[in-house]
Amino acid sequence: MTARPLLRRRSVAALACAAALGCLGVAPATAAGDSDGGMWYFTKTGMDAIHERTTGKGVHVAIIDTAIAPDSGDLRGADLTVHEPSFCAEERGGDRLPAAQDTPAAAHGTGMSALVVGTGKGLDGEPGTLGIAPDATVTFYSALVGPEGTEKGVCEPFEGRTNNELDLAILQAVEDGADIISISLNSTGGWGEEGIAPALASGAIIVAAVTSDEKSPALGYPAQFNGVVAVDSIGPDGKVWGGAPSGTGVVAPGEDIHQLDDDLAGYSERSGSSNATAYTAGALALVKSAYPDATTNQLLQALVRNTNGEEHEIYRDDFYGFGTVNVRQMLEQDPAKYPDESPFLDHDELSVPTYEQVMALTTPSAEPTPSATPAATAGATAEPSAAPSAAPPAAEDADDGSAAPLAWAGLGGVALAAVATALILVARRRGAAADAPTAAVTDGGTDDPHRPHETGGG
């Protein structure tokens, strides 16, 4: 599928903006390529001043990632709940692994959580990672973790699993009332397909990392699904990284970021679309907190109409997408003035999911009381919950142990049981699209539904 942009600007325009750092929202305090000790994503974007107005309070962010070390210095005192157990088993068909760990598998998930709500307390006197939305409520879900010592990108199916791990995590986040779902993970084909339409229908924003594979011709999944905000990474100079695939949604700070090491004992500067995705989730939480009456679609309109340091009509670039995320500029505009239609959800009949499939789950009905956001304390764990009843029946397992994606037809990969869940989701609907929005980028893919998984760098 191809994008149908309203207007296209060449990358040279984005690079000109990047060179002046205007797209980041502040004048350069240091040389353009200086990472400021890995803190440039915070200092160069004027985040201290932004936090005087909004800190993300009242917004529920779901982070779906590897594992997490909730007692890490960066997360002490954060409004954090860990959903236990993970959605991965120690061995195929076995018991589920814990989401909270002190293993190298926890480094990535901890780092992504810290970029959203990190306190910066760090370890042994070393400064830590500062969160973009420090007062947001975060629930963490582990959907890509194997037994200690296994290679990265492994998630074995647990006993009784009825669809893939990312679907289950997304559906659980929806059930738990997430406003924003941040996924700094990527796979070669179809990963998360069953959860996307219900999540979009609930009014949640989904942000996901594009692939970090320089040889990939496509964005990877779930970033490539219709309606998802696909995020890629820029560095302190404002330029997208050299191996970036074309067709991204937006770009955000992600290169040379101060991050926890794999041994959980120190920090280094790490790069990738993973970081950029967490940054974008935090940025959207800040704006939603400042404008709580704006619909989901209006927040997304604000995102794409205020990139690169100015308000503008929607345009697209091959590698910068709608442009560079700019929190300061977004906060200067009331999102309520924008159309209540998603710029990321297109009407292409070949898109997955289709516009009609999402709308089928957002049909207005009597509104029951929505489920409460889970109580959150630093390092706390939620009671284990079974996979949502809305999960569709699994197709025959693929050779790698992962359920193959179901075909989309009618309601497609969303099982009929999901309609019952939709009654809950409708109560939390925050502005479904009513008219034809602009196109999202979707492109190709492979037949392998779940392997190889990857973190989006960082």
Q: Which residues form the catalytic set?
A: 65, 108, 274
C-alpha 133/C-alpha 119 separation (Å) is 10
C-alpha 416/C-alpha 54 separation (Å) is 40
Would you list the DSSP string of 167-230? HHHHHHHHHTT-SEEEE-EEESS-TTHHHHHHHHHHT-EEEEEPP--TT-SS--BTTTSTT-EE
C-alpha 307/C-alpha 296 separation (Å) is 17
Give the 3-state secondary structure of 11-26.
HHHHHHHHHHCHHHCC
Spell out the residues 6+ positions from residue 427 whose beta carbon is closer than 8 angstroms to its own. 367, 368, 369, 370
Give the three-class secondary structure for 324.
strand
Q: Can you say whether residue 71 is alpha, beta or left, with left for phi > 0 and alpha for psi between -120 and 50 degrees?
A: alpha
Please, which contacts does 150-153 make with residues 24 or more away whose CB atoms are closer than 8 Å? Answer: 152/66, 152/105, 152/454, 152/455, 153/451, 153/452, 153/453, 153/454, 153/455
Q: How many CA atoms lie within 13 A of 114 on its CB side?
A: 35
C-alpha 344/C-alpha 233 separation (Å) is 18
Q: How many CA atoms lie within 13 A of 448 on its CB side?
A: 11
Spell out the residues 6+ positions from residue 207 whose beta carbon is closer than 8 angstroms to its own. 180, 181, 182, 183, 228, 229, 231, 277, 280, 281, 284
Q: How far is CA 208 from the centre of its chain?
A: 4
C-alpha 14/C-alpha 19 separation (Å) is 9
Q: Can you say whether residue 159 is alpha, beta or left, with left for phi > 0 and alpha for psi between -120 and 50 degrees?
A: beta
Would you list the DSSP string of 61-94? EEEEES-B-TTSGGGTTS-EEEESS-S-BSSTTB
C-alpha 234/C-alpha 330 separation (Å) is 19
C-alpha 86/C-alpha 25 separation (Å) is 38
